Structure 1
Amino acid sequence: MRKVIFFFFSIAILSACGSHKTDNPAPPPPPAGPGKPTLIAPASNEVCTQGTVISATQSTVTLKWSAADNATGYDVTIKNLDDGTSASLSTAATQVNAILKRNTPYSWTVSAKSAAAATSKSDTWKFYNSGPATVNYAPFPAEIVAPVMNQTVTVTNGKMDLSWNGSDADNDTILYDIYFGDSSSPALLKNKASENILKDVAVVAGKTYYWKVITTDSKGNTSDSGIYKFTTK
């Protein structure tokens, strides 16, 4: 009888131990990164006339974009294309008011944030903040594509290409003067180019070069990309 009792007691202990087996649950998935914001207004490459005038030199412009998936907030970067200065604004909404100089070109971009560490950036748009008694606007400063600031370029056969993008809020015809050289004040290399690329520019490996693009529209208005430098190897 004692053997039978011991047998059932042993089974009960083993069953109880088995019932308390600890499983390792799968960790929860990481938070999803934000989607890409889509810019809405001011429209790309156009004159913004919707701002609220504050003074002869400033107005308030409302920047708007679409909501990004999983976004908890947004950082808005606005760049003055005349003097190169930038300002940043943060918001949880999908629009923000910015006090800007009148009769001045700007670019802007929006970065979406979420609980994840990653961020997602919108495209970059440009617009002209309208000013008093302006009939025609200067072209937007050329956007340097390649080579960009402080880039190291591998030279092939002693030649390379320079490329940029240009636009004009009035849709005027625009031409480009390209300045290039190994001096921080580069000389004019090509006058009144109509394309956005200058091919087969002669360079030497192991040197630092400087370049810029002056854009001129059909009304004689001009804009300056600013000087960019790069190194060859």
Structure 2
Amino acid sequence: MKKLLSILIVFTFAVIIVSGCSKSDDTTITNTGGNQLPTSPSSPIPSNGAVGVTGFVTATWSCSDPDVNDTLRYDVYIGSTTNPSTVVTTGTLNKAADLGIAGPNTLVYWKVVAKDNHGGVTNGPVWSYRTAP
């Protein structure tokens, strides 16, 4: 009986130790007051879905950072698909970028990625406009 009790105690501790070390897929990451991400770029010009855009296009947008002393830089991409990947500019401090001139009746997609000086990155939405025929 003593031997059986000893085996049960050892087995119980082994189960407790193994179950306490099991891997869990439930991971929660909490920001405890560190760097906050830039806001999502918004208020694009040309406006999203604009039609009849003519001439040389200089795009503008709004963006800020909840951390008022952060410096924001922007990467701007353009393309003919909903995932624009051609780099227009990287690391600009301006909330404006020259997108150039597209051919007639061309659907142009563009997006802005905002980055702060502490590694915070926010990908903006993809916007589009169509040039005049």
TM score, norm. by length of structure 2: 0.70
Shift of 1:200: 5.6
1:176 to 48, 51, 74: 74
Distance 2:47 2:57 in 1: 13
- What is aligned with 1:154? 53
- The structure where helix makes up a greater share of residues is 2
Shift of 1:132: 4.5
Instruction: Please tell me whether the aligned partners of residues 144 and 225 of structure 1 are also in contact (alpha carbons under 8 angstroms).
Output: no
- What is aligned with 1:166? 63
**Larger gyration radius, structure 1 or structure 2:** 1
Instruction: Please tell me whether the aligned partners of residues 78 and 99 of structure 2 are also in contact (alpha carbons under 8 angstroms).
Output: no
Gaps of 5+ in 1: 1-56, 58-102, 104-130
- What is aligned with 1:76? none
Distance 2:93 2:31 in 1: 31
Instruction: Please tell me whether the aligned partners of residues 41 and 124 of structure 2 are also in contact (alpha carbons under 8 angstroms).
Output: yes
| Larger RCO, structures 1/2 (Cα 8 Å, 6+ apart) | 2
Distance 1:135 1:194 in 2: 23
Mapping 1:4-19, distance limit 5 Å: none
Secondary structure at 1:135's aligned position in 2?
coil
CA RMSD after TM alignment: 2.0
Shift of 1:217: 0.1
Gaps of 5+ in 2: 1-27
Distance 2:81 2:44 in 1: 21
Distance 1:154 1:229 in 2: 11
Cα deviations across residues 161-205 of structure 1 (Å, max 9, x unaligned)?
Answer: 111011111120000000111122112221111101113623112
Instruction: Please tell me whether the aligned partners of residues 74 and 114 of structure 2 are also in contact (alpha carbons under 8 angstroms).
Output: yes
Distance 2:66 2:52 in 1: 33
- What is aligned with 1:201? 100
Cα deviations across residues 81-110 of structure 1 (Å, max 9, x unaligned)?
Answer: xxxxxxxxxxxxxxxxxxxxxx9xxxxxxx
Mapping 1:65-104, distance limit 5 Å: none
Letter in 2 for 1:169: P
Structure 1 segments, 4+ long, off by >3 Å, are: none
- What is aligned with 1:52? none
- Aligned residue pairs, count: 103
- What is aligned with 2:16? none
Change beyond 3 A, Cα 1:153–1:220: farther
Instruction: Please tell me whether the aligned partners of residues 88 and 98 of structure 2 are also in contact (alpha carbons under 8 angstroms).
Output: no
